[in-house]
Amino acid sequence: LSAGKIIGQQQALPQAGVSSRGLQIDVRGAALQFGDLTVLRDLDLSISAGQFLAVVGRSGCGKSTLLRLLAGLEQASQGSVAIGGTATSGLRPDVRVMFQDARLLPWKSVLDNVRIGVEGGDRAKALEALELVGLADRAKEWPSVLSGGQRQRVALARALVSNPRLLLFDEPLGALDALTRIEMQQLIERLWLERGFTAVLVTHDVSEAVALADRVVLIENGTISQDSAIALARPREKDNGFAHYENSIL
């Protein structure tokens, strides 16, 4: 984490997005074991509403486990995890997860895959979500005829169709070629700006973390070993609280 954009410890910086509709996350002293294996320990993490946090670290360090913990898909053996002020227990309807593989149902059309993500299978909302990701014209096709990047767009539409307040990404662009990855990064950034959800992106790609997030945490030995605010290359809001810091380093 030595990129020039990193400007210091998170605690010293103003918080962006206090009026966001995104969910706030508070993890306190969390630990998680699988049998004898301690994957996470002494984990404290507060993510403010509307923040874009990236989690980086070596393969096997516990990134996916942390994401599942935030999703309510794992329970901490010690400590607490609160999402929007409420202790987690199971996946909430206003929280969505996107994985490296799109996990589309091959026997359903693109549109029907997106309809799965919204209550009542609302067709109009599903079409609208497909429009957001630029795939409305492929609504009637089977997932199998799409490229890997297009399948991830469908997965993104399915995640967004219910207008979640927290979006958790587990290496969603890891299997894509470099150009498609950049397009998807731009799409995710635009949707985050428009929709105002809190975003947590797990990635082993530090440059992707720095490109997308306004804060990056590094996981080592099962806990957060580094926590850095990122100065954004271009302003994301009229005044996101970071302008002063950008001006001082650019």
State in angstroms the smallest separation of the CB of 209 from ligand ADP: 13
Site for ligand ADP in 164-203 (CB under 6 A): none
Binds 62, which of ligand ADP, Mg ion, none (CB < 5 to 8 A, cut-off by type)?
ligand ADP
Query: Closest approach of Cβ 205 to Mg ion, in Å?
Result: 12
Interface pick for ligand ADP out of 20, 64, 198, 223 (rule CB under 6 A): 64
Q: What is the per-residue binding string for Mg ion in 46-65, x denoting contact by CB under 5 A?
A: -----------------xx-
Strands across the sheet with 86-87, in order?
37-47, 25-34, 78-83, 86-87
Dist. CA 114–CA 121, nearest whole Å:
8
Q: Is 39 in the site for ligand ADP (CB under 6 A)?
A: yes
- Residues in region 61-90 near Mg ion by CB under 5 A: 63-64
DSSP one-letter string for 116-173: TTSGGG-HHHHHHHHHHTT-GGGTTS-GGGS-HHHHHHHHHHHHHTT--SEEEEESTT
39 makes contact, choosing from ligand ADP, Mg ion, none, with CB < 5 to 8 Å by partner type, with: ligand ADP
CB of 249 to Mg ion, least distance (A): 32
Tokens of 216: 């990056």
Q: Cβ of residue 64: shortest distance to Mg ion, in angstroms?
A: 3
> Given candidates 65, 150, 152, 203, which one binds ligand ADP under the rule CB under 6 A?
65
In this structure, the number of other CB atoms found within 10 A of the CB of residue 164 comes to 21
Residue 60 in the binding site for ligand ADP (CB under 6 A): yes
60 binds, among ligand ADP, Mg ion, none (CB under 5 to 8 A by kind): ligand ADP
Sheet holding 95-98, edge to edge: 6-9, 223-230, 215-220, 52-56, 198-202, 166-170, 95-98
What residues pair up with 27 in beta bridges, in sequence order? 45, 81
- Which residue's CB is nearer to Mg ion, number 45 or number 231? 45
| Closest listed residue to residue 92, CA positions, set 162, 146, 34, 33 | 162
**Residue 122 CB contacts under 8 Å (≥ 6 apart), including other chains:** 115, 161
Number of residues that bind ligand ADP (CB under 6 A): 11
Looking at 14, 29, 34, 194, which residue binds ligand ADP (CB under 6 A)?
34
Of 34 and 107, nearer to ligand ADP (C-beta) is: 34
Q: What is the dihedral of CA 77, 44, 171, 13, to 10 degrees?
A: 170
Residue appearing with tokens 């994401």? 67
Which residues would be at the binding site for ligand ADP (CB under 6 A)? 34, 37, 39, 57, 59-65
